[in-house]
Amino acid sequence: MKRLHEAKVSGKTVLVRVDFNVPLDAEGRITDDRRIRQTLPTLNWLLEQGAAVVVCSHLGRPKGHDPKLSLKHLHNPLSDLLGRDVLFVDDCIGPKALHICKNIDPGDVVLLENLRFHPEEEQGDAEFAAQLAWNGSVYVNDAFGAAHRPHASISVIAQYFPKEKYAGLLMAAEVDNAERVLGGSKSPYIAVLGGAKVADKIPVLQNLIERLDGLFIGGGMAYTFLKAQGVAIGRSLCEDDRLEAARRILDRAAARGIPVLLPRDVVVAEAIDRPETARTVPVDSIPTDAMGLDIGPQTVEALAELLSGAQTVLWNGPVGVFEQAAFAQGTAGVAAALARACASGAYVLIGGGDTAAAIDQLSDPSLFSYVSTGGGALLEYLEGRELPGLAALT
């Protein structure tokens, strides 16, 4: 995989695939511009090298042309962040886009319209990819968050740039940091996994279990593991069809002598929308009419002990419904424990969109070694699967 610093881009027009899939409010204002800011090093490097830059991205899941999901909403914010005027084009292919992209000068920046306004993007259509490729003479993929998608602008377009395709600075950083928790991890290596769905994490666990020295499982997925051990979980979230897979993970960890920490106490409530009923109970005392929605303080303390002396830590998935204050203390406690581990010399990778959002809300991203932009892409990478966007660059 060739990296951006190997590119000679002076006087050339560079087509940059980014992941600007940012959240918008009802008025079309960006509520979190992290994904745009994290691409700025790549865009600024290209401009400093004397390139003209054409930026393309998807936004949301439109069905045809949807003005609410137009990249026009990103035009002014991107101009402000780059400190220069950005020209917006209301399509990403076709005569108008091609004419503009062929007649821009070094230092100019063009933002193309939402790629997914064309269904051919998600279909991986080669003709669409070819037309998009005409907008530049060099291709840079900086969209790690979409690298697991076999879409036209991700996995197909690179064939039209056989000698001029590169990984952007963000893409390279994502791969390098993911590799630190795969092949290059230092022991003791602890994984902290949460989130709602066991199905999302079982493949990751199957791939990582041989590398780990300790494992913590929290969040909604923990109740499937608890039930697999015979614990009564009340009305807590559970994937009954994953109970056997959970048992196999626990058995494999036991065979390897890896300590697995499950919640010891939990915050329960009658329902997510009934925070006034929240209370902390031992994990073996979950009422039949209640559901677990966060981990308790004893569990946070036990996790801090598990992390003592850790050299590598992966955290993927919140451990509670952190969006509500009544169920956010567990995730805040995990963040604090991991920040202390990082300050003590551990490499701490934070992965997943929800986990990054939790860090923004409850902690400070600068306290950790790296906060990944990849949700599904990072999970698939940690599963050991080949990502189409990376394969296309090699």
Query: Among 2, 3, 180, 197, which one carries the catalytic annotation?
Result: 197
72 is catalytic: no
**Exposed, middle or buried by CB within 10 Å (0-12, 13-18, 19+), for 2?**
middle
- Determine if residue 94 is left, alpha or beta; phi over 0 gives left, psi from -120 to 50 gives alpha, anything else beta: left
Secondary structure of residue 322 in the 3-state scheme: coil
Active site residue 376: yes
Q: Nearest to residue 394, comparing CAs of 38, 184, 147?
A: 147
197 a catalytic residue: yes
Q: Annotate 27-79 with DSSP letters as a single string.
A: TS-BS--HHHHTTHHHHHHHHHTT-EEEEE---S--SS--GGG-THHHHHHHH
- Catalytic residue (one of 353, 374, 375, 389): 353
What per-residue string of b and e applies to 363-375 under the rule 16 or more CB within 10 Å gives b?
Answer: beeebbbbbbbbb
**131/109 Cα distance (integer angstroms):** 19
Integer Cα distance of 145 and 21 in angstroms: 9
Phi, psi (deg, nearest 5) at residue 276: -65, -15
Three-state DSSP class for residue 337: helix
Contact 267, 277 (CB under 8 A): no
CA distance 116 to 64: 8
Q: Which of 12, 35, 116, 149 is catalytic?
A: 35
Catalytic pick among 50, 94, 234, 376: 376
Q: How far is CA 13 from CA 16, 100, 127, 129, 392, in A?
A: 10, 11, 21, 17, 20
Decide if 353 is catalytic: yes
Q: Which residues pair with 14 in a beta bridge?
A: 53, 138
Nearest to 331 by CA among 267, 244, 379, 239: 267
Residue 68 backbone phi and psi in degrees, to 5: -65, -20
Known catalytic residues are 35, 197, 353, 376
